[in-house]
Amino acid sequence: MKAALVRTGAGNLYSLAVALERIGVCPEVVDTPEQLRRLDRVILPGVGEARRAMDFLVRRRLDRAIRDLRVPVLGICLGMQLLCRWSEEGNTPGLGVFNLEVRRFRGEEKVPHTGWNRIDKLEGKLFRGIEGGEWFYFVHGYRAGLSNRTTAVCDHMGPFSAALEQDNFFGVQFHPEKSGGAGSRLLRNFIFGGMSDDK
């Protein structure tokens, strides 16, 4: 199984690479379209600012290459937001895989949304063997709303998409690499779970 982390110019890939190694995967770190085309699984991570990360992808011609992939793709945190149509952070056009806008949290609670929170209404292939109400670790100041592509919901100043799924594209707003056993299970589901063909 050839799996890779896409370099976005934002954030540290080390903790995610270590989490993948714990489940038996040694991921490559890639930043060219040519590298993407020879992979079985692609993870688009990200901790940082949307405009900077998207500009990096465009400069490296990775934006079109990611959209054209037919293998399973998982966006994590900022990576999921980049898969959406637009982000309020820096007024940034995204990759448009998910027809959703990403907007800043507004309200009286803490921003960014940091720490452990429960997710519910779980659906789809990523959550096989994971029960509703499970805890995952979040760090983010922006969120995608709900849609018919939402496969998990979290509530912080109102409900938002904790996970999304469309065809071979998946996204999670939380950090599975920091989410203990449930996060490891989700990563195993993505890497080994027949994401392309099982319904």
Residues marked as catalytic: 77, 175, 177
DSSP 177: G
Residue by residue, DSSP assigns 98-139 as: EEEEEEE--SSS-SSEEEEEE-BS--SGGGTT--TT-EEEEE
| Residues facing residue 42 across a β-bridge | 4, 73
Alpha helices in 7-92 (DSSP H): 14-22, 33-36, 50-59, 62-67, 78-82
Q: How far apart are the first and last CA of the chain?
A: 21
**Which burial class, exposed, middle or buried, applies to 129 when counting CB atoms under 10 A from its CB (0-12, 13-18, 19+)?**
exposed
- Placement of tokens 């370099």 in the chain: 7
CA distance 174 to 140: 8
